[in-house]
Chain A
Amino acid sequence: MKTAADRRTKRRMGGTGGGKGEARFALALLLPAGIVVFGVVLYPVVRTFVVSLFNVNSPMAGSYPFVGLSNYTKVFHDSNFYSVLGHTLYFTLVSTFAEIGLGIAIALLLNTPLKARWLWRSLVVLPWALPTIVNGALWRWIYNGQYGALNGLLSSLGISQTPHQWLGSPFLALNMVIMADVWKNTSIVVFFVLAGLQTIPEDLYEAARIDGSGAWQTFRRITLPLLAPSIAVVLVLRTIEAFKVFDIIYVMTGGGPASGTQTVAFYTYLQAFSNQLFGYGAALAYLIVLAVFAMSMTYLRILKQGQMSGVE
């Protein structure tokens, strides 16, 4: 399939630069990747935008009324949208901050002279590698109100004998989903912060010690400022991921109870595929794209500044 983008790339690359032969060679090397990516993606990107301008309410081809930007304005008058946006922001803020806080603590721990350090570090890889859906299914089972291990643990430890319905009320359920997400994704923060810690020269700590600086002061004045770039990168990364959260919600709560765990991505999915409001869903999708792009630009800016300490 030859798309407009391929033709455009061809024209671009035929130009000057490193000589005609080199440009042609570059085109030949990039063409397969271009076809594989743009052949699939370009049409949907344009199509989603077109669909968002029409009142498409079934998957069948046909003529639907053109509604201009009213699908977009509808979003901002939709009270459900504000409540799912609220859940998404809450999810994003709480999970990101918990992951960053815990991640820094664990990375500092793994940087101390532990015995068999490689073993502890390998452990941290495990939650990260667990497939998201398996993670969700597992925590749903742990939180189960009747047979769940969490209630079992609380009663075995003598903390609470009454069984709790962890996923039974909206706000509690949202927090429990966040806990499951934090359990899995803190690892990513640990990887980045550990890599950052490795770039801090030992002499700095030595000098701080000679100057009589305490542990907390050394952390605040030396470690934290030098870690700032790694933390910034992982902060943006986790924010973007959390903002798009879908899989874990789908498998753990299905958006419930009482829509209390619906996020923007999940709401978009429901509008398009359950309610068949494809036009409205497409408008929502484009708004997510805008938000994610804004966050990604921040990320790329950080990357470009070359501040990725410890990362190749």
Chain B
Amino acid sequence: MRPSKRYLVGIHSAAILMALVILAPFAWLLISSISPSSELLAVHPHWWPNHLTMSRYIEIFSSSSGGDDVAANFRLAMVNSFEVAIGTTLVSLFVGTLGGYAFARLKFRFRRTSIFAFLAIYMLPPIALVIPLYLAMANLHLLDTKLGLVITYCSIVTPFALWTMSNYFLSIPPDLEEAARVDGCSRLGALVRVILPLARPGLLTTAMFGFLLSWDEFLFSLIFTSTTNAKTIPVAIAEFTGKYSSDFGLIAAGGILAAGPPLILALIFQRYIVSGLAAGAVKG
């Protein structure tokens, strides 16, 4: 039975309506970032600017660092966010892959208990840790450093990596590995040569979520960082939004740049999102 024409028109109109609702705020963010301030602050908003300006992007990429220059701060915060997110992702992926393999393939006492211990940590809301962690970071001179953020974020992302990687390893038939071991591979050798290449989708999912979690994290960064030494992009944007809410053009340009990396990653890896979310769901 072919669907009727009316039905097809109906569902396509509904889809277009959905697209409008999703895209309009994005479009407004982009337009705001390239509209001159005078037009943004006009009595009636100009839906499309009479004069396009790229000045904010140029400012962000070229103004000299140091001092109170907001545009330069955005750039430095972006760089910080990249370094922190990549550092966190690499460390968590490494320790999470090793531990995930142990959970998936090895039999040992208290296996379930230790899985549960990691999960329980993962569920803790950041607000429950932030007070003493702040005091501890202050004692260790790690406040306002990227290292301090990476250490903190790794403790959040690693349990997640353990879970996704162990789930992924479980989906790979153990025969392959046994065959490799019969051929004289050590256990670690089999993990590196046979299992890891097969686990690539799992590694990619874990890496994407690790990056997104670190990139999006706000509370720890807000409390731990105070200067461009370590301030990440969400904090830079939030701070600027509070202080100079009328210069939205610059916030919009910063927002577009901050949204770029996660949007691109999510579009590339979209078919892995659900399996990652199912594991990430317990994040508290």
Contacts and interface: CB of A to CB of B under 8 A. Distances in A.
* Contact residues on B (Cβ < 8 Å of other chain), bracket: 35 or more
B133 A44 contact: yes
B132 A43 contact: yes
A158 interface: no
Contact of A300 (B234, B270, B282): B282
A250 B18 contact: no
Contact of A289 (B125, B154, B273): B125
B102 A30 contact: yes
Nearest to A16: B109
B62 to A, nearest CB: 22
B158 A123 contact: no
Interface in B98-148: 98-99, 101-103, 106-111, 113-114, 117-121, 123-125, 127-136, 138
A246 B123 contact: no
A125 B266 contact: yes
A303 B275 CA distance: 13
B131 A282 contact: yes
B273 A125 contact: yes
Nearest to A9: B114
A206 to B, nearest CB: 10
A40 B151 contact: yes
Interface stretch (A73-81, A88-96, A141-149): A141-149
A12 B110 contact: yes
B277 A192 contact: yes
Nearest to B110: A12
Nearest to A272: B131
For chain A, what secondary structure do more than half of its interface residues adopt (helix, strand, loop), or is it mixed? helix
B102 A296 contact: no
B158 A33 contact: yes
Contact of A288 (B28, B128, B134): B128
Given A40-B155, A106-B18, A246-B219, A25 B132 contact: no
A44 B18 contact: no
Interface stretch (B64-72, B173-181, B256-264): B256-264
A29 interface: yes
A129 B106 contact: no
B102 A251 contact: no
B109 A109 contact: no
Contact of A41 (B11, B129, B233, B259): B129
A33 B15 contact: no
A37 B159 contact: yes
Nearest to A23: B108
Given A12-B113, A120-B18, A126-B26, A137 B102 contact: no
Interface residues of A, number: 109
A308 interface: yes
Contact of B106 (A25, A32, A59): A25
B278 A233 contact: yes
Interface string A224-254: 0000000001001100100010110011001
Interface stretch (B53-61, B192-200, B245-253): B245-253
Given A25-B102, A127-B22, A299-B281, A37 B263 contact: no
Interface in B196-250: 212, 215-216, 218-219, 222-223, 233-235, 237-238, 241-242, 245-246, 248
A286 interface: yes
Given A123-B18, A140-B241, A13 B270 contact: no
Contacts of A308: 278
B149 to A, nearest CB: 11
A84 interface: no
Given A109-B15, A141-B32, A311-B274, A41 B155 contact: yes
Contact of A152 (B3, B44, B252): B44
B91 A36 contact: yes
Contact of B238 (A27, A133, A278, A288): A133
24 contacts: A12-B114, A25-B187, A32-B99, A37-B118, A48-B128, A59-B134, A113-B8, A126-B26, A129-B263, A131-B259, A134-B234, A139-B25, A140-B245, A144-B245, A147-B45, A148-B45, A191-B274, A194-B274, A195-B274, A244-B127, A269-B127, A285-B125, A293-B284, A311-B275
Given A109-B11, A140-B241, 7 more contacts: A13-B108, A37-B159, A113-B8, A113-B11, A148-B45, A237-B277, A281-B131
Interface of A: 5, 9, 12-13, 15-19, 22-23, 25-27, 29-30, 32-34, 36-41, 43-45, 47-48, 51, 59, 61, 106, 109-110, 112-115, 120-134, 136-142, 144, 146-149, 152, 155-156, 183, 188, 191-192, 194-195, 209, 233, 236-237, 240, 244, 246-247, 250-251, 254, 265, 268-269, 272-273, 278, 281-282, 285-286, 288-289, 292-293, 296, 299-300, 303, 308, 310-312
Interface of B: 1, 3, 8, 11-12, 14-15, 18-19, 21-23, 25-26, 28-29, 32, 40-42, 44-45, 47, 91-92, 94-96, 98-99, 101-103, 106-111, 113-114, 117-121, 123-125, 127-136, 138, 151-152, 154-155, 158-159, 162, 167, 171, 187, 212, 215-216, 218-219, 222-223, 233-235, 237-238, 241-242, 245-246, 248, 251-252, 255, 258-259, 262-263, 265-267, 270, 273-275, 277-278, 281-282, 284
